[in-house]
C-alpha cells in the first residue's frame, strides 16, 4: 500500500510538471491563433447557460436569506420566560 501511495505521488508530480507549461501558454492569444475567428462577444448559448445558472443561484439565495433572518431573530430576541419571571436581581 505504501508503494502505491509513493507511486501516485511521483505520478502526480510528473503530471503537474507536464501541465505547467500548458497553463502558461493557454491564453486568449493562443486561442485566437487556434482557429477562433473572434465573434466579438459571448454566443447566445453561453449567455443562456449563464442566465440559467444565475437563476439557480438566485433561487438558492431566497431560502438562505430566510434561514439567516430567523437565526438572527432567534439570537437577539428575548425569550418569554425571561420577560415573565423578570431578571435574577428582581427575584432575589
pLDDT, tens only, 72-83: 999 998 766 666
pTM score above 0.95: no
pLDDT digits (tens, 9 = 90+) for 21-71: 666 665 655 555 555 555 567 888 999 999 999 999 999 999 999 999 999
* 20-48 per-residue burial string, b: 16 or more CB within 10 A, e: under 16: eeeeeeeeeeeeeeeeeeeeeeeeeeeee
Amino acid at each position: 500500500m505504501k508503494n502505491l501511495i509513493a507511486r501516485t505521488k511521483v505520478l502526480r508530480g510528473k503530471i503537474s510538471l507536464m501541465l505547467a507549461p500548458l497553463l502558461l501558454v493557454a491564453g486568449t492569444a493562443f486561442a485566437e491563433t487556434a482557429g477562433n475567428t473572434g465573434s466579438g462577444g459571448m454566443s447566445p448559448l453561453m449567455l443562456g447557460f449563464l442566465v440559467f445558472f444565475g437563476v439557480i443561484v438566485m433561487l438558492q439565495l431566497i431560502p438562505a436569506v430566510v434561514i439567516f433572518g430567523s437565526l438572527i431573530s432567534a439570537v437577539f430576541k428575548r425569550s418569554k420566560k425571561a420577560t415573565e419571571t423578570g431578571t435574577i436581581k428582581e427575584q432575589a
